[in-house]
């Protein structure tokens, strides 16, 4: 019996299907553990909102592999954005929750789409307000290029060459969609 | 969603009200961190112009601005040139030349914040209480306190019956709360002597809507209420002319635990702003488990942070930054 998923518009081209999606999460999880076998300081932090559920998947996968729970948190970068006050909208605050000791932790920051790097810059600032992690690494599902800051990812699900005018969207089962990444051409 | 000023809850629609309350809720966390500061309003200037006495509101606005990294200047009534005969508008114009992004105004005259918002250019005005008109950030923080408390037991802030007891006539806090609860779809009962809760005033102000009703009997008004809000007798606004004596008011409208547990056993108690212990409400009730007074200050800072954030916006459009 197949599950019913919400559909996406016809002009959204699948660039990562659900099988590749889950393989990427597994591979990233193994790579994180491979880089440092000691996991007593490891903590996973998702950047809201795109990275939150991706981070949960990685967190779950690592717990399965290691048979041990590791700390998990979410970070909202709204208050750290460099374009606050440059947009016409009242910002929507999504909330930060980091229920573990930041100082001395090895933080894996997780986001879905890696683009200009400005979100990650803001997230790094936000993290440092909670303490001094011993290291911060970045895991992303898709790297679409066009960086505007000197920031790189440590773990990448898929490198996706894009035009600046295109959009990249990640959809997940947690929201009723099939796990996929889409590339959308601007009309 | 865009905000130019925050002058009254009456001006908001439901979407805006809910947006401000939801943002406030998420901002509580900032005040619980070790480093209680975020860079959101770095380089912005906020002027607090307080022409009337205030401790909690002024310090709450000041701290809210500072926690958002804004530069905050406080100007209070007795230290301004208004004392020397300068008009409010001239004082405000002088302050506006310092290019603040936000001007927070408290004034004894109803409409003072509107007046400044209409006459000053390039600055967002927040009404921190204008005479007997409105005190919108207090209304918002009361909603936030209530929402947080109700959510602890899985309840919603919508579909409630709110009983407001006391000097509604002179109360800007009551007015802001009434507008907020009207937007949230709640029923509001106003309880007090006719002089302090006049029928025609209620009709003129809030229309013939059946969300609101007036009661001269405390027992009748309290029965089955979900929230009881006690409003202070504003002795400085000559409330004593509206009641024969304080003792007589207390005889008729004193809210006690015994009364609430009989008539509205699950009701929460709110005492926004200062309260005269033993006049409007039993002292033990204010400190008891029904009371929401304890978290008011924390909620107040978060609320004012949310309001300040909503006012800092420019004409450009949001881009996809990822």
Residue whose entry in the numeric block shows the structure tokens 């309003």:
B41
When pLDDT is cut at 50, 70 and 90, the band that residue B318 belongs to is very low
Contact A92 B2 (CB under 8 A): no
- B321, part of any domain: no
Whether residues B81 and B70 fall in one domain: yes
Q: What is the mean pLDDT of residues A8-16?
A: 92
How much of chain B exceeds pLDDT 90, in percent?
72
Whether residues B106 and B229 fall in one domain: no
How much of chain A exceeds pLDDT 90, in percent?
84
Each residue's pLDDT tens digit, B86-145: 888 999 999 999 999 999 999 999 999 999 999 999 999 999 999 999 999 999 999 999
Residue B241: predicted pLDDT: 77
Residue B315: predicted pLDDT: 40
Each residue's pLDDT tens digit, B216-232: 999 999 999 999 999 98
Of A89, A115, A118, nearest to B318 by CB-CB distance is: A89
Nearest Cα to Cα of residue A122 among B18, B42, B205, B109? B42
Contact B26 A118 (CB under 8 A): no
Alpha-carbon gap, residue B45 to B98, rounded angstroms: 9
CB < 8 Å to B35, chain A: 129-130
Residue A81: predicted pLDDT: 87
Each residue's pLDDT tens digit, B150-200: 999 999 999 999 999 999 988 999 999 999 999 999 999 999 999 998 887
Q: Using alpha carbons, list the distances in angstroms from residue B240 to B39, B195, B214, B301.
A: 48, 11, 21, 33
Whether residues B31 and B163 fall in one domain: no
Is A21 near chain B, with CB under 8 Å? no
Number of domains in chain B: 2
Contact A130 B34 (CB under 8 A): yes
Annotate B206-240 with b (16+ C-beta within 10 A) or e (fewer).
beeeebbbbbeebeebbeebbbbbbbbbbeebebe
Phi, psi of A165 (to 5 degrees): -80, -15
Is A80 near chain B, with CB under 8 Å? yes
Contact B19 A125 (CB under 8 A): no
Q: Report helix, strand or coil for A120.
A: helix
Is A89 near chain B, with CB under 8 Å? yes
Is A34 near chain B, with CB under 8 Å? no
- Judge whether residue B47 has pLDDT over 90: yes
Q: Are B49 and B82 in contact (CB under 8 A)?
A: no
Residue B200: predicted pLDDT: 77
Of A95, A129, A144, nearest to B35 by CB-CB distance is: A129
Whether residues B156 and B214 fall in one domain: yes
- Domain limits at B94? 9-134+298-311
Residue A93: predicted pLDDT: 92
Any idea what the CATH number is for the domain that residue B91 is in? 3.40.50.1370
Contact A88 B19 (CB under 8 A): no
Q: What is the mean pLDDT of residues B34-48?
A: 94
Whether residues B88 and B198 fall in one domain: no
Whether residues B98 and B198 fall in one domain: no
Interface test with B, best of A50, A81, A84, A147 (most B CBs within 10 A): A84
Q: Report helix, strand or coil for B43.
A: coil
- A171, part of any domain: no
- Domain limits at A67? 18-163
- B184, part of any domain: yes
Alpha-carbon gap, residue A69 to B250, rounded angstroms: 58
- B96, part of any domain: yes
Residue B78: predicted pLDDT: 73
The minimum CA-CA distance between A99 and chain B, rounded to whole Å, is 11
Q: Report helix, strand or coil for B317.
A: coil
Q: What is the mean pLDDT of residues A128-146?
A: 95
- A3, part of any domain: no
Residue A187: predicted pLDDT: 67
Instruction: Give the DSSP per-residue string, A91-102.
Output: PPP---B--S--
Q: Which residues are CB-neighbours of B160 under 8 A, at least 6 positions away? A: B181, B184, B186, B187, B226, B227
CB < 8 Å to A89, chain B: 1-2, 313, 318
- B54, part of any domain: yes
- B68, part of any domain: yes
The minimum CA-CA distance between B33 and chain A, rounded to whole Å, is 7
The minimum CA-CA distance between A26 and chain B, rounded to whole Å, is 23
Report which of residues B84 and B281 the model is more confident about. B281
Whether residues B73 and B61 fall in one domain: yes
Residue B175: predicted pLDDT: 94
The minimum CA-CA distance between A108 and chain B, rounded to whole Å, is 18
Find the residue in A nearest to B28 (Cα). A95
CB < 8 Å to B44, chain A: 85
- A46, part of any domain: yes
- A28, part of any domain: yes
- A182, part of any domain: no
Within chain A, where are the H helices? Answer: 18-35, 50-66, 118-128
Residue B316: predicted pLDDT: 44
Residue B57: predicted pLDDT: 92
Whether residues B39 and B110 fall in one domain: yes
Each residue's pLDDT tens digit, A66-122: 999 999 999 999 999 888 777 778 889 999 999 999 999 999 999 999 999 999 999
Report which of residues B87 and B239 the model is more confident about. B87
Each residue's pLDDT tens digit, B251-276: 999 999 999 999 999 999 999 878 88
pTM comes to 0.90
Whether residues B98 and B204 fall in one domain: no
Each residue's pLDDT tens digit, A161-178: 999 999 999 999 999 999
Residue B184: predicted pLDDT: 95
Q: Which of residues 103-142 of A touch B (CB under 8 A)?
A: 111, 113-116, 118-119, 125-126, 129-131
Q: Are A148 and A116 in contact (CB under 8 A)?
A: yes
Residue B238: predicted pLDDT: 63
State the average pLDDT for chain A. Answer: 93
- A35, part of any domain: yes
Whether residues B30 and B170 fall in one domain: no
Q: Give the distance from CA B87 to its chain's centroid.
A: 26
End-to-end alpha carbon distance in chain B: 21
Number of domains in chain A: 1
Instruction: Give the DSSP per-residue string, B78-119.
Output: GGSGGGGT--HHHHHHHHHTT--SEEEEEESSTTHHHHHHHH
Whether residues B263 and B141 fall in one domain: yes
Q: Using alpha carbons, list the distances in angstroms from residue B40 to B31, B51, B309.
A: 14, 28, 8
Q: What is the mean pLDDT of residues A27-56?
A: 94
Find the residue in B nearest to A120 (Cα). B322
Q: Are B63 and B74 in contact (CB under 8 A)?
A: no
Any idea what the CATH number is for the domain that residue A77 is in? 3.40.50.2020
Alpha-carbon gap, residue B168 to A37, rounded angstroms: 66
Whether residues B159 and B287 fall in one domain: yes
Is A97 near chain B, with CB under 8 Å? yes
């Amino acid at each position: 019996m197949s599950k019913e998923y919400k559909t996406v518009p016809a002009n959204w081209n699948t660039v990562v299907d659900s099988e590749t999606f889950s393989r990427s999460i597994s591979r990233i999880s193994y790579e994180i553990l491979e880089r440092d076998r000691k996991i007593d300081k490891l903590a996973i932090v998702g950047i809201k909102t795109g990275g939150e559920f991706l981070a949960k998947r990685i967190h779950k996968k690592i717990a399965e592999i290691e048979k041990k729970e590791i700390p998990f948190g979410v970070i909202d970068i709204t208050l750290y954005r460099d374009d606050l006050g440059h947009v016409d909208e009242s910002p929507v605050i999504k909330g930060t929750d980091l229920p573990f000791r930041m100082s001395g932790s090895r933080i894996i920051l997780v986001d879905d789409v890696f683009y200009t790097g400005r979100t990650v810059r803001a997230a790094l600032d936000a993290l440092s307000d909670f303490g001094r992690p011993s290291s911060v690494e970045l895991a992303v599902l898709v790297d679409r290029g066009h960086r505007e800051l000197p920031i790189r990812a440590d773990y990448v699900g898929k490198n996706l060459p894009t035009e600046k005018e295109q959009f990249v969207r990640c959809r997940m089962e947690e929201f009723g969609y099939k796990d996929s990444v889409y590339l959308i051409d601007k009309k | 969603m865009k905000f130019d000023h925050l002058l009254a809850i009456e001006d908001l629609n439901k979407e805006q009200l809910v947006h401000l309350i939801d943002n406030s809720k998420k901002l509580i966390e900032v005040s619980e961190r070790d480093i209680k500061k975020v860079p959101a309003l770095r380089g912005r200037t906020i002027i607090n112009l307080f022409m009337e006495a205030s401790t909690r509101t002024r310090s709450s606005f000041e701290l809210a601005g500072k926690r958002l990294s804004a530069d905050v200047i406080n100007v209070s009534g007795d230290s301004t040139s208004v004392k020397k005969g300068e008009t409010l508008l001239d004082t405000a114009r002088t302050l506006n030349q310092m290019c603040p992004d936000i001007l927070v105004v408290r004034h004894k005259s109803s409409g003072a914040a509107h007046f400044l918002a209409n006459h000053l250019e390039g600055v967002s005005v927040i009404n921190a209480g204008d005479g007997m008109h409105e005190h919108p950030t207090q209304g918002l923080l009361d909603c936030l306190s209530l929402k947080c408390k109700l959510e602890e037991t899985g309840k919603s802030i919508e579909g409630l019956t709110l009983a407001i007891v006391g000097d509604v006539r002179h109360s800007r806090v009551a007015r802001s709360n009434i507008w907020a609860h009207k937007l949230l779809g709640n029923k509001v009962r106003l309880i007090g002597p006719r002089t302090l809760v006049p029928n025609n005033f209620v009709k003129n102000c809030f229309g013939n809507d059946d969300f609101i009703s007036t009661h001269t009997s405390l027992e009748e008004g309290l029965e089955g209420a979900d929230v009881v809000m006690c409003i202070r007798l504003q002795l400085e606004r000559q409330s004593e002319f509206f009641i024969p004596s304080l003792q007589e008011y207390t005889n008729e409208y004193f809210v006690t635990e015994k009364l609430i547990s009989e008539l509205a056993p699950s009701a929460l108690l709110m005492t926004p702003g200062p309260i005269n212990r033993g006049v409007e409400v039993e002292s033990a009730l204010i400190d008891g488990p029904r009371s929401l007074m304890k978290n008011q200050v924390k909620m107040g800072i978060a609320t004012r942070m949310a309001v300040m954030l909503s006012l800092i916006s420019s004409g450009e459009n949001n881009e996809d930054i990822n």
